[in-house]
Chain A
Amino acid sequence: MSAEWKDRLTAGAASLVFLAVFLFGWNAFVTAQSGPAADMDPELAALLGPQAKGESALPRPSDVGAEIWGHITNPFYDAGPNDKGIGIQLAYSIARVLTGFGLAALIAIPLGFLIGMSRLAQRALDPYIQLLRPVSPLAWMPLALYTIKDSEISSIFVIFICSIWPMLINTTFGVATVRRDWLNVARTLEVKPLRTAFRVILPAAAPTILTGMRISIGIAWLVIVAAEMLVGGTGIGYFVWNEWNNLSITGVISAIFFIGVVGMVLDLILGQAARLVAYAE
């Protein structure tokens, strides 16, 4: 045990060293970019921004740190329909992702199960799945906006349509590749089909299904940012867009940080769930 802990500590220390090197390099880069302040008429200088006066467009790590700390300490303020705290924005995005993802799971898993159990269905539906799967989720956006006529439901629909495919394909694959022996044993014991499905096939396919879900939620989280940037209103994507609108690189970097953190947490949760159903043959 102590050897493993030692490894972990070393890895953690190495991570910290990487971070320190990265931040130091970043700071040095910004310093190198900033020129000396130009000699300027004060009247004119008052009308110009720091960048026009020779400062780098890129913020320093300390600026970004202060910005992130500001968001962490005050995450739930609400200053009108277009200005809400990062906590509220993240909550909107997560709610959208979970709704779209949940709906997709509700449809994809049973459907994948059925397709996986029938060789015919698998072959018949495969071309359609293969055709629709690689479509960029955002390509659905104009169509969704036009037909659904509601931007909130449209963004959920886009999440739904992009997260359904990995789950469907993985479920189908997992169900279709359950070892024949186990099915044959079940048949020998005269287990009823429904019981076979729940007691034999589901546990056997569960790790593959969860892998599909994990891929899906990753994609869903990628897509929601883009969808919200497009549609606006609320959510972390809108937050990024609003900071971009102000050309505030500091704001954009801190938003990237939060997006990364949330994506990591979502992935960790499904990773833990996958461990629960894992089995060794």
Chain B
Amino acid sequence: MGALSNVYDPNEILWKGCPCGLHATMYEHQAALSGSGGGRFYAAETTERAARKPEAPAFDALSDLEQPAAKTDKLDWGDQEKVLANLATSAIMKGLFQTDINRRNFLRAVGGTTAAAAIASILPIEKAIANIVEATGPLEKTDLNVGFVPITCATPIIMAAPMGFYEKYGLNVSVIKTAGWAVSRDKSLSGEYDAAHMLTPMPLAITAGAGSAATPWTMPAVENINGQAITLATKHLDKQDPAKWKGFTFGVPFEYSMHNFLLRYYVAEAGLDPDQDIQIRVVPPPEMVANLSAGNLDGYLSPDPFNQRAVYDGVGFIYKLTKEIWPGHPCCAFAASQKFIDETPNTFLALFKSILDATAFSSAAENRSEISAAISPKNYLNQPTTVVEQVLTGRFADGLGNVRNDPDRIDFDPFPYHSFAVWILTQMKRWGYIEGDVDYTGLAEQVYLATDAQAVMADMGLTAPSETYASYEIMGKTFDPMAPEAYVDSFAIKR
């Protein structure tokens, strides 16, 4: 309660532990009091709290001090700046009074207003507050390299450069185009990239040491939700049913990708074993369209713009958008090493904020056309603007002669739910990418920085969900993040 309490209220208990300072814990304190028969403090306290009425403290005198904590009795977590300020004041008072009982006696004796004025006169509380709220301090470095793979999922990371979101937070970021995810991972591991666009399963795989040396990695934010599709070659117009896909060869962009897991999930639900009945090949996204037209692939589940590009070039049609498999599924991520966060926390925070800001901007439908124009040139996606625009605005040709309108074909939502990570881990377990006992929630909470995202988003005035775990319904099957092992076992087709 400390963070939200009014520190100038003599009835509040602010600090953990014994309020009189004589006992090690609250428990001992209460036991000692009840043992002595009087129970003065404890009894007094309980009655006081029970009888407490919501009184508006008269703190008008302080308004010129801009004392955020003094203005309202109760704060809410959403107002991160005020909460921080309140914590700062609380810490200063702890230094002054040592125990709650001292503070409360002092406040009772002189009154909250006088106390606040008196303390402010001897200690520059506003200054101390300002320091903590702007805890960003100086940036450790401003020149950063951020890697991206040229697909529309990376929109916030990319467009933050031409549209000035990095600059806004004092950063000079070079966004570097990368040939594929394996290279992106290796360049991130080697420290050439300070942060990078990755696929949501990758930070988990890197941390768990699947596919590379185990290195603690973090995922502060999801980039996009939805925005992928299953594309089939034009010659398979008559096979718009997964049951007819036996013997097909499909492309996915990377093993540790939502594309791989969603495709496996989808065909398995149709009764096909993804390792036996179809072949899944890792193909770099740019090569997918060419392979599709050459007949090497029958279809692919890939990131855009390459689904739309297949339609644009007349070699394939969009069979299913992934949002029809799992509405709101995560896809790509903004990822950074734990080392980067530890060594340059202020720079990280600034980068994190610029990404969150850019993601919020990308999420607004009215900005999508402008963004399409900004990220289409050679320096970024290197695609015809029409293709990118069809992906981002959701008004697109599906290759079957229709123009579809699906505004949430792709959306941008940064919040890295822990339950996303748990789902991904269940699929990695299901298909044998990781073996043995998996600490689902432990790994999820280590890698996906949902709680930090909550705090930073609140600080920026963005709305963050209050829960970091959610349950999903994927093709009629419910996923409960609290029972991951049972979820894995519930599948008929697994390794």
Q: Are A48 and B378 in contact (CB under 8 A)?
A: no
Residues from chain B with Cβ under 8 Å of A79 in the complex = 377-379
Contacting residues of chain A (71-119) with chain B, CB-CB under 8 angstroms? 79-83
> A230–B178 Cα gap in the complex (Å)?
9
Binary interface encoding of chain B residues 370-391 relative to chain A, with 1 for a CB under 8 A from any of its CBs, else 0: 0000000111101110110010
Within the complex, what minimum Cβ distance (angstroms) separates A233 from chain B? 7
Q: Are A241 and B314 in contact (CB under 8 A)?
A: no
Answer whether residue B401 sits at the interface, using C-beta atoms and an 8 A cutoff: yes
Residues from chain A with Cβ under 8 Å of B379 in the complex = 79-83
| Total A-B contacts with CB atoms under 8 angstroms apart | 95
Residues from chain B with Cβ under 8 Å of A230 in the complex = 179, 183
A13-21, A126-134, A146-154: which one contacts chain B?
A146-154
Q: Are B378 and A49 in contact (CB under 8 A)?
A: no
Answer whether residue B189 sits at the interface, using C-beta atoms and an 8 A cutoff: yes
Given the interface pairs A47-B396, A81-B379, A151-B192, the reply to whether A247 lies near B286 with Cβ below 8 Å is yes
Answer whether residue A57 sits at the interface, using C-beta atoms and an 8 A cutoff: yes
> A34–B333 Cα gap in the complex (Å)?
41
Partner of A246, one of B187, B383, B403: B383
Task: Tell me the nearest residue of chain A to B176, going by C-beta.
Answer: A81
Which of B187, B382, B384, B396 has the most chain A CB within a 10 Å cutoff? Answer: B382
Q: Are A232 and B386 in contact (CB under 8 A)?
A: no
Answer whether residue A51 sits at the interface, using C-beta atoms and an 8 A cutoff: yes
Contacting residues of chain B (159-182) with chain A, CB-CB under 8 angstroms? 174-179
Task: Tell me the nearest residue of chain A to B191, going by C-beta.
Answer: A149
Answer whether residue A46 sits at the interface, using C-beta atoms and an 8 A cutoff: yes
Residues from chain A with Cβ under 8 Å of B403 in the complex = 43-44, 47
> A218–B187 Cα gap in the complex (Å)?
28
> A72–B190 Cα gap in the complex (Å)?
36
Answer whether residue A270 sits at the interface, using C-beta atoms and an 8 A cutoff: no
Q: Are A232 and B183 in contact (CB under 8 A)?
A: yes
> A145–B179 Cα gap in the complex (Å)?
14
Residues from chain A with Cβ under 8 Å of B475 in the complex = none
Q: Are A47 and B397 in contact (CB under 8 A)?
A: yes
Residues from chain A with Cβ under 8 Å of B179 in the complex = 229-232, 241
Q: Are B189 and A233 in contact (CB under 8 A)?
A: no
> A53–B309 Cα gap in the complex (Å)?
14
Task: Tell me the nearest residue of chain B to A54, going by C-beta.
Answer: B314
Answer whether residue B28 sits at the interface, using C-beta atoms and an 8 A cutoff: no
Task: Tell me the nearest residue of chain B to A40, going by C-beta.
Answer: B401
Binary interface encoding of chain A residues 224-247 relative to chain B, with 1 for a CB under 8 A from any of its CBs, else 0: 000001111100000001111111
Residues from chain B with Cβ under 8 Å of A82 in the complex = 175-177, 378-380
Residues from chain B with Cβ under 8 Å of A185 in the complex = none
Which of A46, A52, A243 has the most chain B CB within a 10 Å cutoff? Answer: A52
Which of A49, A241, A244, A247 has the most chain B CB within a 10 Å cutoff? Answer: A247
Which of A52, A80, A233, A245 has the most chain B CB within a 10 Å cutoff? Answer: A245
Partner of A48, one of B174, B186, B380, B397: B397
> A245–B378 Cα gap in the complex (Å)?
10
Binary interface encoding of chain B residues 396-410 relative to chain A, with 1 for a CB under 8 A from any of its CBs, else 0: 110001010000000
Q: Are B313 and A245 in contact (CB under 8 A)?
A: no
| 21 A/B residue pairs, CB under 8 Å, sorted by A | A44-B403, A46-B386, A47-B403, A49-B386, A49-B387, A51-B312, A51-B313, A52-B314, A53-B314, A57-B293, A79-B377, A81-B174, A145-B186, A149-B191, A151-B192, A229-B179, A230-B183, A231-B179, A243-B382, A245-B150, A245-B382
What residues of chain B have their CB less than 8 Å away from a CB belonging to chain A? Answer: 150, 174-179, 183, 186-187, 189-192, 286-287, 289-290, 293, 309, 311-315, 377-380, 382-384, 386-387, 390, 396-397, 401, 403
What residues of chain A have their CB less than 8 Å away from a CB belonging to chain B? Answer: 43-44, 46-49, 51-53, 57, 79-83, 145-146, 149-151, 229-233, 241-247
Known A44-B397, A151-B187; further 10 A-B contacts with Cβ < 8 A: A48-B314, A49-B314, A51-B312, A79-B377, A80-B379, A82-B380, A83-B377, A149-B191, A232-B179, A245-B286
